Chains A and B, each alone.
Chain A
């Protein structure tokens, strides 16, 4: 068969690390990209990643191996990640690092000029490449630069346009399917002029990041609202493992945002402690509780384990600083020049936002919602269940199972882009795409979105959208965060339905036809509420504890069960019933999530008990 040589147009939504790398790969394969983003892609949330990116470089004389990276990732994810997919990722990791190095990422180097490596949670070898404490920013910038190069290049001299055309300050609203049900375009809205427009594509890749804003205060940027994921979920895309929400143990609590304090702090020797009375002598002492509870890994236990320990010490043992939800993260014993070189950027941030110098005094931190292991279901080539629609990066569910290891997110973001980009071109050339969208179909899709938007502008109720969002976040933190139980999750589902109802009673004050952020936020908020239901329902149905999902046993009266030491009793991991992927689909009639379970490949490493003691 002759190869289809007509120009191919790929729409990529999201300009973080995954979206940008997919863009580069599409261009290299001879395709044109329309790149949509809420913001200039250089301001995408990937830049908040601090500590590093894992790859087995084995340059520290520790005999690290790709197999150990594979095993640590699968074990860290409590055996819920597709092992074949993870294997592909860890094998590609060293090559990805070399590529980024050539692109100009200013990785921190040893005196010999090779890449330095640091320790990270859940891994016993130095395996994390880093650029000071701003690794995500540096990687994002290097990819942004390469994409800018493609913005100035034509694929052939007669082409009418450059290989990449950016649509920055455009919000993705929904996908458009042709009569065969194949995704062939999107509708998007210009966030400044409010123009709504429909676009054609051969393949659409969503690389829209995580849903942190569903929890209100979190470590994510304000743009990480999960709205695009929720939109395609409502159009038939399946969501997988949504209940696995990573709570990062060390963040600076704040009323506007919880600011991340990198796991690199612990990787570079930081210790976590609180004051307590010594149980034997009764004397006041510093209790390094992670080292005490988990002697093998100490402060370097994975995030879910550290977060639960900190929560227990503050909430149940009442040992938080001044009785509040805070513990110390201490770097003050480490030489200041070493700290400056390895962690400079984030120490400056702590000083700036808190007003105290972490080189002098211990930092005060508490766990915060950070990352979603779950997301849009994809196969190993990053196709979703909707033909023509792909997902890539944090918005997909692949690679991390029930808990993500630190510094594996930059890796999965980059790696998924190297898969989704070329596959998007493969689909564009050989896929069963059916007919291109007609002008009438484009206009019908555009008008539908226009009508929905006009309706929002007419809302005259009594609720303020931002206050309702705040309540949504409080609700999710109360019931669906570090410790969950079925009574709370049932209550949460009831409350979420009430919030969804109250959404209809929102009142809009802004009628402007320029940069109407309020109206756009109202549309996003509805998507966030529906996604909150997906997370909560997934958590409710999974009757076990695994990775970040920790469920407390209730007695027949619905009270939380405690053991002889008055510690809460958690459900165990139940491989027989729950070593399956949660798959959630949307029921348009009830607007409720429907949960089923799906088998996956865990044939390479035999599941074993996960313990860091």
Chain B
């Protein structure tokens, strides 16, 4: 066959408690091909390189624009979004694995609900009286708002948790993404009223002291959020809060 093919080596797993195994697939090359588009081609013709007809590969995706965070997986050893992983820019054959920091449901599909639970723990919201009309919203410093905008791009994809050596069975660390969200809400003119609650939550087990400052998170963040900068700032804020707790009691 004259057509150019791209080889995918995919780590599969039939269910949460099943053993992983690998299968290989060839997909027709085309310019601009990305990993999600290739998985879609496999759906249309789920046949391995050995000619075996198998169940299509299972994974999660929604937006295909790197905004929703759904299609995070480990591609050639690195956690990233599959939709913007262009075949032209990565080494072939292409290895796909689930992000095993999280429980695997099936194939590349993982359960990331723990991150959303952590957002509850850090009280990741502005405490409104209600959604009704009150009066004008407070004016905000445009520079602070720009920092908030940067952090507010976090799509809870989990790349930073997958890359972090301190997230896993050996530690309770809730991970960089949910931790840094506390900083976001502490910046908001109304959100900052509850900053002590968020900082106290980060003093507890699995909070900011579990961060080992390995700097892996900032390397993999698909949204280029300066995670380590904000983790450092939060660390200072948590320490200040701890002192305040001592002297105010």
Chain A positions near chain B (C-beta within 8 angstroms): 21, 24-25, 28, 39-40, 42-45, 47-48, 95, 98-99, 101-104, 106-114, 131-132, 134, 137-138, 141-142, 145-146, 148-149, 151-152, 168, 192, 221-223, 254-257, 259-260, 345, 349, 352-355, 418, 464, 466-467, 470, 509-515, 517-518
Contact = CB atoms under 8 A, between A and B. Distances in A.
B54 to A, nearest CB: 7
Nearest to A223: B62
Nearest to B57: A517
B112 A256 contact: no
Decide if the interface of chain B is mainly helix, strand, loop or mixed: loop
A518 B55 contact: yes
B75 to A, nearest CB: 15
Interface in B18-60: 30, 32-34, 36-37, 40, 43-46, 53-56, 58, 60
Nearest to B13: A514
A255 B34 CA distance: 10
Contacts of A509: 46, 53-56
A44 B63 CA distance: 8
A39 B191 CA distance: 27
Nearest to B17: A514
B84 interface: yes
Contacts, number: 192
A110 to B, nearest CB: 7
A43 B125 contact: no
Top 4 closest pairs, chain A to chain B, by CB: A101-B137, A256-B37, A145-B125, A510-B55
Nearest to A507: B53
B211 to A, nearest CB: 23
Contact of A221 (B68, B127, B185): B68
B149 A28 contact: no
Given A256-B36, A349-B66, A511-B55, A141 B152 contact: yes
B148 interface: yes
Given A48-B63, A148-B124, A106 B131 contact: no
B128 interface: yes
A21 B131 contact: yes
B70 interface: yes
A221 B37 CA distance: 13
A134 B150 CA distance: 11
A375 B14 CA distance: 38
B244 interface: no
B198 interface: no
A149 B134 contact: no
Given A104-B191, A112-B139, A148-B125, A515 B106 contact: yes
Given A102-B190, A148-B116, A255 B37 contact: yes
A40 B155 CA distance: 11
Contacts of A151: 120
Interface of B: 14-16, 30, 32-34, 36-37, 40, 43-46, 53-56, 58, 60-70, 83-84, 86, 105-107, 109, 111-113, 116, 119-120, 123-128, 130-134, 136-142, 145-146, 148-149, 152-153, 155-156, 184-185, 188, 190-191
B44 A95 contact: no
Contacts of A221: 62-64, 68
Contacts of B138: 102
B32 to A, nearest CB: 7
28 contacts: A39-B70, A40-B112, A40-B116, A47-B67, A48-B67, A102-B128, A103-B125, A104-B125, A104-B184, A104-B191, A137-B67, A146-B126, A146-B128, A148-B124, A152-B120, A192-B106, A192-B111, A255-B32, A255-B37, A256-B64, A353-B32, A418-B131, A466-B40, A470-B44, A512-B55, A514-B15, A514-B16, A518-B55
Given A466-B40, A514-B16, A192 B105 contact: yes
B106 A352 contact: no
Contacts of B68: 39, 43-45, 47-48, 221
Contacts of A48: 63, 65, 67-68
B120 A512 contact: no
A49 to B, nearest CB: 10
A399 to B, nearest CB: 20
Given A103-B128, A256-B34, A256-B37, 6 more contacts: A39-B68, A104-B185, A152-B120, A256-B36, A349-B66, A512-B15
Nearest to B149: A106
B99 to A, nearest CB: 15
Contacts of B37: 254-256
Kindly name the residue among B43, B133, B139 whose own CB sees the greatest number of chain A CB atoms within 10 A. B43
A514 B106 contact: yes
A526 B89 CA distance: 37
B140 A255 contact: no
B56 A517 contact: yes
Nearest to B119: A148
Contacts of B191: 104
Given A148-B120, A514-B14, A518-B55, A256 B40 contact: yes
Contacts of B56: 509-510, 517-518
A33 to B, nearest CB: 14
Contacts of A47: 63, 67-68
A486 B134 CA distance: 53
Contacts of A101: 137
Contact of B131 (A24, A168, A257): A24
Nearest to B116: A40
Kindly name the residue among B69, B149, B191 whose own CB sees the greatest number of chain A CB atoms within 10 A. B149
Contact of A467 (B33, B44, B112): B44
Given A145-B126, A467-B44, A102 B137 contact: yes
B35 to A, nearest CB: 10
A106 B15 CA distance: 40
Kindly name the residue among B40, B125, B139, B191 whose own CB sees the greatest number of chain A CB atoms within 10 A. B125
A330 B105 CA distance: 45
A600 B30 CA distance: 49
A266 to B, nearest CB: 19
Contacts of A192: 105-106, 109, 111
A305 B153 CA distance: 33
B105 A514 contact: yes
A446 B73 CA distance: 34
B64 A257 contact: yes
B156 A40 contact: yes
Nearest to A512: B55
Given A223-B62, A255-B32, A353-B84, A102 B148 contact: no
A106 to B, nearest CB: 4
